[in-house]
Amino acid sequence: MTREFSTVGVIGLGTMGAGIVEVFARNGIDVVAVEIGDAPLERGKGVLAKSTGRALAREKMTQDEHDTLHSRITYATDLAALADCQLVVEAVPESLELKKDLFAQLDQIVSPDAVLATNTSSLPVTQIAVATANPKRVVGMHFFNPAPVLQFVEVIKTVITADDVFEDIKALAERLGKRPVVVGDKAGFIANALLFGYLQPRRQHVRDQVRHPRGHRQRDAVRLWAPWVRSPCSTSPDWTRPTRSSTRCTARAVTGCTHRVRSSSRWSAQVCSDARADAGSYSYAAPGSPEVVGDH
């Protein structure tokens, strides 16, 4: 029997999680949005309010639609609030151990027929699934940022995902106005597999600049001519701190090159640190804020 998802849960209200909440609420689905504490919960509310406020100002939605969207969202800091959700989507940081621990907890909270979905961009969904007592109900549902705008959604089916779970999530993505693409549980799925192949020679190029005594001149020229070249390092937190190891694992699997990718990972941490020291390609109003401000 096809599942009719009327209430879903979203864990994590960063830029990605807040966007996913908005997508569900825009399409008439009640959402339980969960964060680990009051402070990140308030930040997440701010991200969502900023996005919907912008849509309202640009006449992408009416005041009634705006108010109705927000009325569909319930906020919580306790996973127990997800007990009645038919689907839970996690959008927490890219740490395999964190996601496995989270799914093990959810397994004890939601009903046996509820679906558990991960928004991971590159971690193995199968390894996340086996942390639960029923890995057949675990699937990947990878949205892209900004989630309310981009239609592309990767639906990742593992070798143990139940067919009805997979079909129901694919149908849900279509109901949300997205264009789901079916992907096997392989390194990088589709988008990141392509991205790593694209970025690897450019990362090598920038590393050569860093080593060169006059490399800063080349970096300045690149930034002025093509700022997108350094954007992955200067604007995305996924290249630093806890996600660096998962990025390295994905890069190894995608490129098939272990030694070079390993050294590239060490280099990327340094370059990202250097890039962030001068605020990267964009400056924001405050840590965690989605508001872009001019350079001072």
| 35 flagged as catalytic | no
CB 108 within 8 A of CB 120: no
Strand-pairing partners, residue 184, are: 157
Active-site option among 22, 35, 94, 142: 142
Q: Which is catalytic among the residues 154, 246, 264, 265?
A: 154
Using alpha carbons, select from 191, 103, 111, 194 the residue that is nearest to residue 155: 191
Catalytic residue among 119, 121, 122, 268: 121
The residue length of the chain stands at 296
Backbone φ/ψ region at 288: left (φ over 0), alpha (ψ -120 to 50), beta = left
Q: Which residue has the tokens 């940022």?
A: 145
Alpha helices in 119-241 (DSSP H): 125-129, 163-175, 191-211, 215-225, 231-235
Check if the beta carbon of residue 47 is closer than 8 Å to that of residue 21. Answer: no
**Choosing from 51, 119, 192, 234, which is the catalytic residue?**
192
Catalytic annotation present for 142: yes
**Is 134 among the catalytic positions?**
no
Which residues participate in catalysis according to the annotation? 121, 142, 154, 192
